[in-house]
């Protein structure tokens, strides 16, 4: 399975059975290494919350590929009205298997959303667990998530202003206890933290057992 960072909070995960999963696909973000024209296949799209930088190009991708979308019920209604055909609305604590071999669990995030409730996702794929935190501040129930789920990879925001900063993100790794952390939601807007250097240093100090993998936009990492 490969995890490719597309800039901001957008990732493409390719499973061992060649399923293509996009999370928060704002493909037109300033860091994005790909354009919409480059995307011809998508099986599943996950949207953590209804802000332009997360819902992004979901409608364009789904119209092109007929991908299934999983998001909160209110945002899923909005997407249906925009012409997205295959949408599943779920809520915090719930799990579904929208495509064969991929289970998705919605968990809390502390943020806002133009429709529905903001969330994070746990993806259960090929016996591994990937956590995408969405946009959130740090919260103590991350420790519970770390106890409930043996998280292999945590995709976590570090950019501050709208989400956790480097310090909170480094501390969150003590709660989540992933094997690997990949930072996201930085460097996109001038207001956000510019790079992952401080996070890398703080994570080493706060959570030395967690391996931090800093991807360049377009770079991928396999597990
Ligand atoms: Zn955001």
At 80-104, the pLDDT tens digits run 999 999 999 999 999 999 999 999 9
Specify if 150 maps to a domain.
yes
Cα angle value 213/206/7 (rounded, 5°): 30
Spatial distance between the Cα atoms of 51 and 42, rounded to a whole number of angstroms: 21
Q: How far is the CA of 104 from the centre of ligand 1 (A)?
A: 20
Dist. CA 55 → ligand 1 center (Å): 10
Centre of ligand 1 to C-alpha 163, Å, is 8
In a domain, 39, yes or no: yes
Residue 223 lies in a domain: no
Ligand 1: distance of its center to the CA of 18 in Å?
A: 28
Residue 173 Cα to ligand 1 midpoint, Å, equals: 20
Q: Which domain covers residue 68, as residue numbers?
A: 2-213
Calculate how far, in angstroms, residue 112's C-alpha sits from the geometric centre of ligand 1: 10
**What's the number of domains the chain is made of?**
1
DSSP H or E run through 123 = strand 119-125
How remote is the CA of residue 162 from the centroid of ligand 1, in Å?
Answer: 7
Q: 176 CA distance to ligand 1 centroid (A)?
A: 21
User: What CA–CA distance (Å, rounded) separates 88 from 96?
Assistant: 9
How is residue 121 written in tokens? 């996702």
The C-alpha atoms of residue 213 and residue 111 are separated, in whole angstroms, by 25
CATH number of the domain residue 115 falls in: 3.60.15.10
**CA nearest 133: which of 215, 54, 31, 29?**
54
User: Within a domain: residue 133?
Assistant: yes
Distance 135 CA to ligand 1 centre (A): 6
Which residues neighbour ligand 1 (ion) by CB within 5 Å?
Answer: 53, 135
Does 197 reside within a domain? Answer: yes
Q: How many angstroms is it from 167 CA to the middle of ligand 1?
A: 18
- Tens of pLDDT, residue by residue over 44-81, are 999 999 999 999 999 999 999 999 999 999 999 999 99
What is the pLDDT at residue 105?
98
Query: Concatenated DSSP letters for 52-80?
Result: HHHHTTHHHHHHHH--EEEE-HHHHHHHH
pLDDT at 7: 98
Give per-residue pLDDT as tens, 11-25: 999 999 999 999 999
Whether 62 maps to a domain, the answer reads yes
Residue 175 · residue 142 · CB < 8 Å: yes
Q: What is the distance of C-alpha 17 from the center of its chain?
A: 20
198 Cα distance to chain centroid: 21
Mean pLDDT confidence for 158-183: 98
CA of 185 to the centre of ligand 1 (A): 7
For residue 17, the CA-to-ligand 1 centroid distance in Å is 30
Q: Which of 223, 82, 67, 74 is nearest to 155 (CA)?
A: 223
Cβ neighbours of residue 33 closer than 8 Å, sequence gap 6 or more:
6, 7, 217, 218
* Mean pLDDT (whole number) for 206-217: 97
Secondary structure (DSSP) of 1-18: -EEEE-STT-EEEE-TT-
């Amino acid at each position: 399975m490969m995890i490719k960072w597309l800039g901001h909070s957008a990732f493409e995960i390719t499973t061992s059975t060649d399923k293509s999963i996009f999370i928060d696909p704002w493909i037109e973000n300033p860091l994005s290494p790909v354009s919409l024209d480059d995307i011809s296949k998508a099986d599943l799209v996950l949207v953590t919350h209804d802000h332009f930088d997360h819902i992004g190009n979901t409608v364009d991708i789904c119209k092109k590929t007929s991908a299934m979308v999983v998001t909160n019920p209110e945002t899923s209604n909005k997407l249906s009205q925009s012409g997205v055909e295959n949408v599943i609305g779920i809520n915090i604590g719930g799990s579904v298997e929208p495509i064969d071999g991929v289970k998705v669990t919605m968990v809390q995030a502390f943020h806002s959303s133009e429709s529905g409730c903001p969330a994070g996702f746990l993806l259960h794929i090929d016996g591994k667990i990937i956590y995408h935190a969405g946009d959130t501040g740090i919260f103590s129930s991350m420790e519970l998530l770390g106890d409930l789920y043996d998280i292999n990879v945590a995709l976590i925001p570090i950019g501050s202003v709208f989400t956790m900063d480097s310090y909170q993100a480094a501390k969150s790794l003590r709660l989540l206890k992933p094997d690997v952390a990949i930072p996201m939601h930085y460097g996109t807007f001038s207001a956000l933290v510019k790079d992952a250097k401080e996070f890398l240093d703080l994570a080493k100090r706060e959570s030395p057992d967690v391996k931090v993998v800093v991807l360049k936009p377009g770079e991928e990492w396999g597990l």
